[in-house]
């Protein structure tokens, strides 16, 4: 999530894995909770990859958020916080989910991340989606976020990356129906506009093909040498990836209010495009006054917290 820069293709790192066979379903109470996972109209999302005792922080520490994303499900299995969640007893999962739901917070898992390259590695999109969807249901979660960052595949421009993501998304929705489970994507901002570097269309093509199945986009407005002030973030990106600011992206067919502004919480969470929460709040005020209400995403807890989100909302949410 935090390290993908389009101008330099990443080499996938080896990740520890617990294996990816879907376990037996958790108790019925946990599964029933997932059925209430209708996507909120404005989304305030926080990712969790670093270890947390008990996996989920107390819901009282997440005031201002309504989606908590456990990272990551990978092609090799659940790792980091997703794996930690899987290891909890079913009764503990049910208890924590009830606590979060009472606070208005959905709990989802995020797939792939910056070091997993499913298309390049030859993973089958349908099989991978079926395995991950079963995992989501077995562990009682409210949905899945698709943080696809296979830069090498997208940069080839041969359409294989776009087809892979679209096939993956369609397959997820067969098991995780819209209105019952959240399905968000977390694209890099440059992928949301036409560009010669992504000749097959990147997320412009993906949105055209399967956008109706996707609840919203947690757009990564960082790590691309852009989006560090209100003008480049919401009005005119310029630079190496023109047409990728918040209000330019809808010109390419992607609905404005499906766009969630994503930022790293601190300098340790991203390489550039970082803004203080107060400065971001000023941009949010401007965007909201022009009709946008998509929401905000932050990478990651605990650097991003309730105080960060309160400031970033700019007093308008």
Q: What is the pLDDT along the chain (317 residues), one digit of tens a residue?
A: 755 666 533 322 222 223 344 443 443 334 444 445 578 999 999 999 999 999 999 999 999 999 999 999 999 999 999 999 999 999 999 999 999 999 999 999 999 999 999 999 999 999 999 999 999 999 999 999 999 999 999 999 999 999 999 999 999 999 999 999 999 999 999 999 999 999 999 999 999 999 999 999 999 999 999 999 999 999 999 999 999 999 999 999 999 999 999 999 999 999 999 999 999 999 999 999 999 999 999 999 999 999 999 999 999 99
CB atoms within 10 A of CB 256: 15
Report the C-alpha gap between 275 and 226 in whole angstroms: 11
Tell whether pTM > 0.95. no
Which domains, from first to last, does the chain contain? Answer: 29-312 (3.20.20.80)
Helix H or strand E encompassing 86 = helix 80-87
Within 8 A by CB and 6+ apart from 208, the residues are 201, 253
Q: What is the rounded end-to-end Cα distance, in angstroms, of the chain?
A: 25
| Cβ pair 15, 76 in contact under 8 A | yes
Report the C-alpha gap between 124 and 182 in whole angstroms: 22
- Give CA 37 to chain center in angstroms: 16
């Amino acid at each position: 999530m935090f390290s993908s820069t389009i101008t330099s293709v990443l080499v996938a790192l080896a990740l520890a894995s617990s294996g990816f066979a879907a376990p037996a379903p958790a108790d019925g109470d946990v599964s029933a909770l997932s059925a209430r996972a209708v996507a909120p109209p404005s989304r305030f999302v926080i990712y969790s990859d670093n270890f947390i005792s008990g996996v989920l922080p107390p819901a009282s520490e997440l005031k201002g958020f309504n989606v908590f994303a456990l990272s990551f499900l990978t092609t090799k299995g659940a790792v980091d916080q997703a794996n930690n969640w899987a290891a909890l007893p079913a009764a503990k999962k049910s208890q924590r989910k009830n606590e979060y739901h009472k606070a208005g917070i959905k709990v989802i898992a995020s797939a792939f991340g910056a070091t997993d390259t499913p298309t390049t590695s030859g993973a089958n999109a349908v099989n991978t989606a079926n395995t991950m969807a079963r995992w989501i249901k077995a562990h009682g979660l409210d949905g899945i976020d698709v943080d696809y960052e296979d830069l090498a595949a997208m940069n080839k421009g041969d359409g294989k990356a776009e087809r892979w993501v679209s096939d993956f998304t369609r397959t997820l929705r067969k098991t995780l129906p819209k209105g019952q489970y959240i399905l968000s994507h977390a694209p890099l901002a440059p992928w949301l506009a036409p560009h010669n570097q992504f000749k097959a269309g990147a997320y412009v093509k993906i949105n055209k093909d399967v956008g109706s199945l996707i609840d919203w986009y947690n757009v990564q407005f960082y790590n691309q040498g852009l989006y560090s002030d209100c003008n480049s973030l919401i009005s005119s990106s310029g630079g190496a990836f023109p047409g990728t600011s918040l209000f330019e992206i809808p010109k390419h067919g992607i609905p404005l209010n499906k766009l969630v502004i994503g930022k790293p919480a601190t300098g340790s969470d991203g390489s550039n495009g970082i803004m203080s929460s107060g400065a971001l709040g000023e941009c949010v005020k401007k965007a909201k006054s022009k009709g946008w209400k998509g929401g905000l995403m932050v990478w990651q807890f605990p650097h991003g917290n309730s105080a960060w989100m309160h400031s970033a909302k700019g007093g308008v949410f």
